[in-house]
């Protein structure tokens, strides 16, 4: 007779043990005080100021993009305010030779990586000139298909590895994106091939109107790394120093041949999902908005820098003015770009046009020359 002794199965405990290990990594608290001294990254005073400059600039770019959209001068705009630490501080840990595979909200990172601002504006308008990315700027067009950039990143990272380059491919998606099949395929493949990839999930708590707790039963998104056999890190995405340190660490391991990392940045978008018309008051409470605004990355970092004597109102105002001037010049340059023709759109798709597109191209060429 078979033994009636119960096997000591406890898969629930296994899960709990895994989940409790995913603690949120933080260096600066909401008051800009260092709470994790040993983790403070080695950045010079100038670098700290530069990081702040870029976050302030990004906030202004967001505000101006929203108003340009309202004036009908921009097309697609996905607001970024609240996500500056997740976006700018993660980018700050990269090098020029690294590749960025952005989602639609990640325009600031690709602009800081070298995409001229007027081209980002043209992209917003759906103009083909927007994504003719200059030589040497390692950026792919922002992905609209949720999560697709994760699979592409595994491929780009494998390519980097095969060429023996000391660089990484970094990609961004959202909490919603982490539910897509592409998310799992990307992290799994990169893990299997130890490809130098950094997978960032900017968990801004909502996928349009769907809250994070309806997205997954998992306690954290970072723990999804466990199934792919890669390191996962949960980070305070409103803390620029923590985000910077986590990405820097992931980058170092990646270029040392140790493979990819999944990083979840806990953050919030203050604005709507996009400027296409969703109303956040229909799916968020003002209490929740207020709670997150207290964690603001720029306020927090300003306090930190002021305490070190590295920041002033004057300095910040100069940056704001500079950003506004740059944006004005960039929108003018976008306006001055010749209007897109149908043949521009057709001819940009292939190096050599297939037969049917050649026919269409000829047809439109004739129309456009009238
Ligand atoms: C494959 C696919 N499904 C659905 C959509 C429609 N869609 C656009 S944005 C979005 C929500 C994404 O949320 P999240 O990943 O959290 O990113 P966030 O916008 O919050 O930055 C959805 C479902 C899409 N673009 N692609
Ligand atoms: Mg989201």
What the block records as the tokens of 142 is 């922002």
Burial of 270 per CB tally in 10 Å (0-12, 13-18, 19+)? middle
CA angle 199–202–204, rounded 5-degree value = 160
The closest alpha carbon to 32, from 321, 305, 329, belongs to: 305
Q: Could you confirm whether 273 is annotated as catalytic?
A: yes
CA-nearest residue, atom 20 of ligand 1: 207
Residue extent(s) of CATH 3.40.50.970 domains in the chain:
20-30+40-338
Statement: residue 5 has pLDDT above 90: no
Instruction: Report the C-alpha gap between 264 and 21 in whole angstroms.
Output: 14
The closest alpha carbon to 36, from 322, 304, 352, 314, belongs to: 304
Q: Pairing mode, if any, of strands 206-207 and 197-203?
A: unpaired
Statement: residue 2 has pLDDT above 90: no
Q: Pairing mode, if any, of strands 206-207 and 210-211?
A: antiparallel
Q: Using a CB cutoff of 5 Å, list residues around ligand 2, an ion.
A: 174-175, 204, 207
289 alpha carbon to ligand 2 midpoint, in Å? Answer: 14
CA-nearest residue, atom 25 of ligand 1: 145
Give the tens place of pLDDT for each residue, 224-251: 999 999 999 999 999 999 999 999 999 9
Give the tens place of pLDDT for each residue, 253-288: 999 999 999 999 999 999 999 999 999 999 999 999
Query: Which residue among the candidates 184, 212, 270, 283 is catalytic per the annotation?
Result: 283
208 alpha carbon to ligand 1 midpoint, in Å? Answer: 7
Statement: residue 311 has pLDDT above 80: yes
Residue 370 confidence class, pLDDT cut points 50, 70, 90:
confident
Q: Which ligand is nearest to the CA of 83?
A: 1
Residues with CB under 6 A from ligand 1: 105, 144-146, 173-177, 202, 204, 206-208, 273
Q: For residue 145, which atom of ligand 1 is closest to its CA?
A: 26
Whole-number pLDDT of residue 7 = 72
CA-nearest residue, atom 23 of ligand 1: 207
Q: Which ligand is nearest to the CA of 147?
A: 1
Q: For residue 175, which atom of ligand 1 is closest to its CA?
A: 16
Q: Could you confirm whether 269 is annotated as catalytic?
A: yes
Q: Could you confirm whether 113 is annotated as catalytic?
A: no
Give the tens place of pLDDT for each residue, 315-330: 999 999 999 999 999 9
Single pTM value for the model: 0.96
Residue 4 confidence class, pLDDT cut points 50, 70, 90:
low
The CATH number for 20-30+40-338, chosen from 3.30.310.160, 3.50.50.60, 3.40.50.970, 1.10.1060.10, is 3.40.50.970
Substitution site in 90, 208, 213, 267 for ligand 1 pocket (most atoms within 8 Å of beta carbon): 208
| Helix-helix angle 117-124:313-336, to 10 degrees | 60
What the block records as the tokens of 204 is 């801004």
Query: Which residue among the candidates 59, 91, 251, 273 is catalytic per the annotation?
Result: 273
Contact 200, 170 (CB under 8 A): yes
């Amino acid at each position: 007779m078979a033994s009636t002794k119960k096997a000591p199965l406890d898969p629930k405990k296994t899960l709990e043990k895994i989940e409790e290990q995913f603690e949120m990594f933080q260096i600066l608290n909401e008051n800009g005080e260092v709470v994790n001294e040993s983790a403070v990254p080695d950045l010079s005073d100038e670098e700290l100021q530069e990081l702040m400059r870029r976050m302030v600039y990004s906030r202004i770019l967001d505000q101006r993009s929203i108003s340009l959209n309202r004036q009908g001068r921009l097309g697609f705009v996905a607001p970024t305010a609240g996500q500056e630490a997740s976006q700018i501080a993660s980018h700050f840990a990269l090098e020029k030779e690294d590749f960025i595979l952005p989602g639609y909200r990640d325009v600031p990172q690709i602009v800081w990586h070298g995409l001229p601002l007027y081209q980002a504006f043209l992209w917003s308008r759906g103009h083909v000139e927007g994504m003719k990315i200059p030589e040497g700027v390692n950026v792919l067009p922002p992905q609209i298909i949720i999560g697709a950039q994760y699979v592409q990143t595994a491929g780009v990272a494998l390519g980097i590895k095969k060429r023996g380059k000391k660089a990484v491919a970094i990609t961004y998606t959202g909490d919603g994106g982490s539910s897509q099949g592409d998310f799992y395929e990307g992290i799994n493949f990169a893990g299997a091939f130890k490809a130098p990839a950094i997978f960032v999930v900017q968990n801004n708590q909502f996928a349009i109107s769907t809250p994070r707790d309806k997205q997954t039963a998992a306690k954290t998104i970072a723990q999804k790394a466990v199934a792919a056999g890669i390191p996962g890190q949960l980070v305070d995405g409103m803390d620029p120093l923590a985000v910077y340190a986590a990405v820097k660490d992931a980058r170092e391991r990646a270029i040392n041949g140790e493979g990819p990392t999944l990083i979840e940045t806990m953050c919030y978008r203050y604005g709507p999902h996009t400027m296409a018309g969703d109303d956040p008051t229909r799916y968020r409470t003002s209490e929740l908005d207020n709670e997150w605004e207290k964690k603001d990355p720029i306020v927090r970092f300003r306090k930190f820098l002021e305490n070190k004597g590295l920041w002033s109102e004057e300095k910040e105002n100069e940056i704001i003015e500079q950003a506004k001037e740059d944006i004005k010049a960039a929108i003018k340059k976008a306006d001055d770009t010749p209007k897109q023709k149908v043949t521009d759109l057709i001819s940009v798709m292939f190096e050599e046009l297939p037969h049917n597109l050649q026919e269409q191209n000829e047809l439109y060429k004739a129309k456009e020359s009238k």
